[in-house]
């Protein structure tokens, strides 16, 4: 079969022939229709991700969408190495396959799963978001951030505050569930002043996709608002 193949560390994938995958008991053989080029896929392909095994050659791609031998359509994650999602076929444990609704197309399903799970896991498993909480998403104009705004609302957040550098995209987030937006423009002190009223009103969860200067000012604003309230 044809696949994208990483042959050596530090080299980009090449399009070439790779051994056909054979499903073992408990696995599904999947004909791939869409595969995501996520940050983790890039990092694994370059050998810089902590989960990289250092075994070559391999097919990159941690997730995607395809059809099983029974023609059912599924989203899959973490195929069995050395097979990945960027190939004509791959093999995946049955427990890592999820049936897809008919109204969700292959490309969209493959593209949103990883960034969507990043915010879902953070809000549900780490922050234990409760209905009625206020959530601030720092860096909400990227794919992960836009999904985080919607997921926070879906999970019951009473108020979602979104920050971002792209003014047009930031304003569009109000239609996706953002109750307030904060543009990340101006110097640090001006940014801190924009954050402070929101923290004074109470913020239960902060989900940060940017780090750097905006996160620093965010933390300072939270600390000062808390001190003033105390």
Q: Kindly report, residue by residue over 1-24, the tens digit of the pLDDT.
A: 999 999 988 788 999 999 999 999
User: Is there a single domain that holds both residue 216 and residue 144?
Assistant: yes
Boundary (domain end) residue, out of 72, 104, 136: 104
What domain range includes position 128? 113-229
User: Is there a single domain that holds both residue 95 and residue 50?
Assistant: yes
Sheet architecture: strand order including 159-164: 180-183, 159-164, 134-138, 205-208
User: Is there a single domain that holds both residue 140 and residue 181?
Assistant: yes
User: Is there a single domain that holds both residue 66 and residue 150?
Assistant: no
Q: Which of 69-73, 102-106, 226-230 bottoms out in mean pLDDT, i.e. has the lowest? A: 226-230
Mean residue pLDDT across the chain: 91
User: Is there a single domain that holds both residue 20 and residue 89?
Assistant: yes
Boundary (domain end) residue, out of 104, 134, 167: 104
Q: What is the pTM of this model?
A: 0.77
Boundary (domain end) residue, out of 75, 104, 133: 104
More confident residue, 24 or 215: 24
How many separate domains does the chain show? 2
Query: Could you tell me what percent of the chain has a pLDDT over 90?
Result: 66
pLDDT band at 230 (very low <50, low <70, confident <90, very high): low
Does the pLDDT of residue 195 top 80, yes or no?
yes
Q: Quick one: average pLDDT of 216-223?
A: 87
Domain of residue 9, CATH code: 3.90.180.10
Domain of residue 209, CATH code: 3.40.50.720
Does the pLDDT of residue 213 top 90, yes or no?
no
User: Is there a single domain that holds both residue 85 and residue 161?
Assistant: no
* Confidence (pLDDT) at 9: 81
User: Is there a single domain that holds both residue 39 and residue 146?
Assistant: no
User: Is there a single domain that holds both residue 83 and residue 164?
Assistant: no
Cα separation, 210 vs 193, whole angstroms: 19
pLDDT band at 227 (very low <50, low <70, confident <90, very high): low
User: Is there a single domain that holds both residue 125 and residue 223?
Assistant: yes
- Residue 194 · residue 177 · CB < 8 Å: no
- Residue among 141, 122, 96, 111 nearest 38 (CA): 111
* Confidence (pLDDT) at 228: 66
* Confidence (pLDDT) at 90: 98
Give me the count of residues in the chain. Answer: 230
Q: How far is CA 188 from the centre of its chain?
A: 28
Cα separation, 61 vs 45, whole angstroms: 8
User: Is there a single domain that holds both residue 40 and residue 146?
Assistant: no
User: Is there a single domain that holds both residue 97 and residue 118?
Assistant: no
User: Is there a single domain that holds both residue 89 and residue 150?
Assistant: no
* Confidence (pLDDT) at 91: 98
């Amino acid at each position: 079969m044809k696949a994208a193949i990483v042959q050596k560390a530090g080299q980009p994938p090449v399009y070439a022939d790779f051994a056909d995958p054979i499903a073992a008991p408990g696995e599904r053989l999947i004909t791939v229709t869409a595969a995501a080029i996520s940050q983790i896929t890039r990092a694994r392909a370059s050998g810089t991700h902590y989960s990289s095994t250092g075994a070559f050659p391999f097919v990159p791609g941690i997730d995607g969408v395809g059809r099983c031998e029974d023609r059912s359509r599924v989203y899959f994650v973490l195929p069995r190495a050395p097979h990945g999602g960027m190939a004509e076929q791959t093999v995946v444990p049955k427990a890592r396959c999820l049936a897809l609704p008919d109204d969700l197309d292959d490309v969209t399903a493959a593209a949103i799963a990883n960034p969507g799970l990043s915010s879902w896991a953070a809000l549900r498993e780490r922050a234990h978001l409760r209905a009625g909480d206020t959530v601030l998403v720092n860096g909400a104009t990227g794919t992960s951030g836009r999904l985080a705004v919607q997921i926070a609302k879906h999970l019951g957040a009473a108020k979602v505050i979104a920050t971002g550098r792209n003014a047009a995209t930031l304003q569009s987030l109000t239609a996706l569930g953002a109750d307030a937006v904060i543009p990340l423009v101006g110097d640090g002190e001006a940014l801190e002043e924009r954050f402070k009223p929101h923290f004074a009103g109470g913020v239960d969860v902060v989900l940060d996709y940017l780090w750097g200067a905006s996160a620093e000012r965010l933390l300072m604003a939270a600390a000062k608002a808390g001190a003033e309230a105390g």
